[in-house]
A = this chain, B = another copy of it.
């Protein structure tokens, strides 16, 4: 499938500060950027820090005062295998190099605290079946609701609160998978058909010998995800990290399907 994405960010930066932007469509085997344009008004001096392993695209720029950022792209997304049933877990030695770190607890995914729960609840299952059961459990025990969580909410709090938004759903899915020794990581994405339109947070698990995208919120189809950033959790995939202070004036994220 082919998509156009269109992001507009309007921020007011207090004093000159550096900003890391993770807003561009990633490049990888499952998606191709056909055309794109990233523009700053006023003009900004930009340095690229792209990541070869995940295909994540990063730019750093210096900002002061009012800045408009716009990113437009056309992206082709290949069919993705997100099937879980029967997908086997890999022994540690067969994991790809980069997968090891996604077994470990992180800032918002304290998986070390959930081993007993995961063993009790999902102990009979393994691999993709276990992931599927974890996603079903989350679907059955959480309410999607804004205002319960904020930028410092961890999966432990979400597990107690039984409510949250996409970030929280992704964190809890990642946490429970890691507690079950299944590599799991966070992915930000433009999400076709997500209502209301916004940058989306989903999870990616390594089972059946491949990374598979899963959306614990079940709010957007996997085949319509244009992936952007990849990391341990929300600490890694924020679309903008401001090393200084700024006010959000306005922002929007749009995605549309292109008929081919």
Contacts and interface: CB of A to CB of B under 8 A. Distances in A.
A127 to B, nearest CB: 14
Interface stretch (A98-106, A212-220, A247-255): A98-106
Contacts of A93: 18, 47, 49, 60
A204 B78 CA distance: 41
B110 A236 contact: no
Question: Which of A93, A114, A236 has the largest number of chain B CB atoms within 10 A?
Answer: A93
Interface stretch (A6-14, A23-31, A35-43, A156-164): A156-164
A109 B162 CA distance: 18
A113 B161 contact: yes
A116 interface: yes
Determine the main DSSP class of A at the interface with B: mixed
Interface in A36-93: 47, 49, 51, 58, 60, 91-93
A51 B231 CA distance: 18
Report which residue of A20, A92, A110 has the largest number of chain B beta carbons within 10 angstroms of its beta carbon.
Answer: A92
Interface residues of A, number: 42
Contacts of A195: none
Nearest to A120: B162
A206 to B, nearest CB: 14
A49 B100 contact: yes
Contacts of A20: 92, 100
Contacts of A148: 116
Interface string A141-175: 10100001001100010011111000000000000
Given A18-B91, A49-B93, A120-B143, 4 more contacts: A105-B107, A112-B151, A116-B143, A117-B162
Interface of A: 18, 20, 47, 49, 51, 58, 60, 91-93, 97, 100-101, 104-107, 109-110, 112-114, 116-117, 120, 141, 143, 148, 151-152, 156, 159-163, 181, 231-232, 235-236, 243
15 contacts: A20-B100, A101-B236, A105-B107, A106-B232, A107-B107, A107-B109, A107-B112, A112-B235, A113-B161, A116-B148, A116-B162, A117-B161, A117-B162, A120-B162, A156-B160
